[in-house]
Amino acid sequence: MDSETPERLDLAQLSQLAECHPNHVSSAFRTRFGISAARLLRRRRIERACILLREKDRPLADIALQLGFTDQAHFSRVFSAEMGAPPGRWRRRNAEL
């Protein structure tokens, strides 16, 4: 995955691109890369969120929707689980870097 990966890519789309059943794609992906496709996609979304969070004036809700989260609360839960802090706190700590 690279910077041109669509932000809302999911297992169903990967399966469609590979022309395989989602279960097969999921299993093959984990075997090949040692991580589930869902986990990698989630990690990439959080990496993109870290970039967007450096824009201090950008609302968290806008970032959440752009990255395909259902709402800001969902974004905050996933971000906190990955990064160890909610996005607002992470932004305050890292915005000046």
Task: Show the domains of the chain with their CATH numbers.
Answer: 11-94 (1.10.10.60)
Q: Is the pTM of this model over 0.85?
A: no
Which long-range CB contacts under 8 A does 67-74 form with residues at least 24 apart? 67/7, 67/8, 68/7, 68/8, 69/45
Which range (33-37, 71-75, 77-81) has the least confidence?
33-37
Q: Which whole number is the average pLDDT over 88-94? A: 93
Has residue 56 got a pLDDT over 70? Answer: yes
At 29 the pLDDT is 87
